[in-house]
Amino acid sequence: MTDNDGYFSEPIAATYDESTADMFAPDAVEPAVALLAELAGEGRALELGIGTGRIALPLAARGVDVHGIELSRAMANRLRDKPGGDAVGVTIGDFATARAPGDFTLAYLVFNTIMNLTTQDAQVDCFRNVARHLKPGGTFVVEVMVPDLRRLPPGQNTVPFHVGDNRLGFDTYDLATQAMSSHHVKVTEDGQGSFWSIPFRYVWPAELDLMARLAGMRLRERWEDWGRKPFTHDSRQHVSVWEKAAD
C-alpha cells in the first residue's frame, strides 16, 4: 500500500466504475439488491467496503437506510458525488475493525471483498465486527468466489480470468498460505501500458462458516448466486447468509 486509501487510491477510483462495468449492469445489480432489501426489512443495512455505491445506492433508492464502511476516501468521494450519494453515510476505516454508528438488521460484503482482508485473523475480526453491529436475529451476507484451484495443474500457480485485445487479467495463487493476487495489464491504442496488482486471501465456504460460529452466527442459507440457484460442487461462487443468535 502506498497511501491511506490502500489499493484503491485516486487513479484506481477514477476509473473503477468503467473497469468493472459488467458488475454495474442491471442483471448483476438488481437480483442482489432485491435479496438484500428483503433481508433488511424495515431495519438498517451496513455495507462493508461500500466503494462507489454500486449496491448501496440502488438499495437506498428502495427505501433502505444504508450506511457503509470504506477504507478509501477516493472511492467514498465517488459515491458522494453520485445522485443520492449524500443520503448514504460512510465511516472511513478498515471494515474488519471500524465501528459504524447505530445497529443494523443486515450487513453485507459483495464482489469478493472479504478477500481484501489478506490474513485469516483479519477475516475472523471482520465476522466479529459484524456481530457487534447486528441486532439479535440480524443477518450477514457474503458474496465470494469458490477458490478456482481445480484449474491449476501441478506446478502451475497462475489462472487467467480475462484475455482481451487490450487487457489481460490473471490470478496467482500460493497454496501454502491461501494468498493470491489479481494482476491487471492494460495497453492503450497508442501502445502505452499500465499494470495494477492487488493482494487477496482466498477462503473456503466451510472456513467462513467456522468464522461465523466464532462470532456467534450460524449459516442460514447458501446459494450459488443472488437468484438463489442451488449451491453445488460445481459452483464457482456463493452467496451465503449467516444469522446472529437471538437473545
Residue 181: give its domain's CATH number. Answer: 2.20.25
Residues 113 and 216 in one domain: yes
Averaged pLDDT score across all residues of the chain: 93
Is residue 72's pLDDT more than 80? yes
Angle at 209 between CA 203 and CA 211, to 5 degrees: 75
> Which helix (H) or strand (E) segment is 26 a member of?
helix 26-40
* Number of domains, the chain: 2
Task: Give the pLDDT band of residue 5 (cuts 50, 70, 90).
Answer: low
For 81-104, write each residue's pLDDT tens digit: 999 999 999 999 999 999 999 999
Domain that holds residue 190: 149-198
Task: Please state, in angstroms and as integers, the Cα–Cα distance from residue 212 to each residue in 59, 107, 133, following that order.
Answer: 25, 13, 14
pLDDT at 214: 98
133 within a domain of the structure (yes/no): yes
Residue 104: name the closest of 67, 58, 59 by CA.
Answer: 67
Return d(Cα 71, Cα 94) in angstroms, integer. 5
Mean per-residue pLDDT, 142-167: 90
pLDDT at 219: 98
Residues 117 and 155 in one domain: no
1 within a domain of the structure (yes/no): no
Task: List the grid coordinates of 177.
Answer: 498460505
221 within a domain of the structure (yes/no): yes
pLDDT at 1: 36
What's 236's domain CATH number?
Answer: 3.40.50.150
Residues 139 and 23 in one domain: yes
Q: Are 230 and 198 spatial neighbours (Cβ–Cβ below 8 Å)?
A: no
